[in-house]
């Protein structure tokens, strides 16, 4: 749902972490299509579609399609450690560039776009939170 093609290296990358980088209409349509397909089986079962991404709470159209919202909440250090741990083959230089990108773009996007929405949804009782800090 982000721009086509591989992203540029972290040290050359602009901010790709805001909600404007997601095709929300397409995502909503894809969720609807998956939900419909999952519920069309011959046996009567409950359709389960899992949608993942840290910006998902930002879009009301996506949120209203979710029967259950689970938010894995982690602190800044844990999020950075998990991001760095995704690919243990990264060079030291790429790890340094990724950490700088995280500080410049990823964490500010979380605090600007997601944290306030997650707090509101949790207060409304709509969101189940799980803390994953070590």
3-state per-residue secondary structure call for 50-84: CCCCCCHHHCHHHHCCCCCEEEEECCHHHHHHHHH
Measured in whole angstroms, the distance separating CA 45 from the mean position of its chain's CA atoms is 27
pLDDT > 90 in the chain, percent: 63
Query: 42-81 pLDDT, tens per residue?
Result: 665 667 788 988 899 999 999 999 888 899 999 999 999 9
**Whether 10 contacts 97, CB under 8 Å:** yes
User: Which one, of 55, 86, 73, 83, lies nearest residue 133 by Cα?
Assistant: 73
* pTM metric for this prediction: 0.83
Any bridge partners for residue 71, and if so which? 129
Tokens found for residue 133: 């800090």
User: Residue 7: pLDDT band by 50, 70, 90 thresholds?
Assistant: confident
């Amino acid at each position: 749902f982000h721009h086509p093609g591989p992203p540029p290296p972290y040290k050359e990358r602009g901010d790709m972490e805001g909600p404007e980088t997601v095709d929300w209409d397409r995502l909503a349509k894809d969720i609807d299509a998956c939900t419909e397909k999952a519920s069309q089986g011959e046996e009567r079962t409950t359709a389960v579609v899992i949608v993942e991404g840290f910006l998902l709470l930002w879009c009301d159209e996506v949120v209203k399609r979710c029967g259950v919202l689970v938010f894995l909440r982690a602190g800044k250090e844990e999020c950075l450690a998990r991001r760095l741990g995704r690919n243990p083959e990264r060079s030291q230089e790429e790890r340094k560039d990724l950490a700088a990108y995280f500080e410049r773009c990823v964490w500010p996007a979380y605090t600007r776009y997601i944290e306030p929405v997650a707090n509101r949804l949790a207060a409304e009782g709509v969101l189940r939170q799980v803390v994953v800090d070590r």
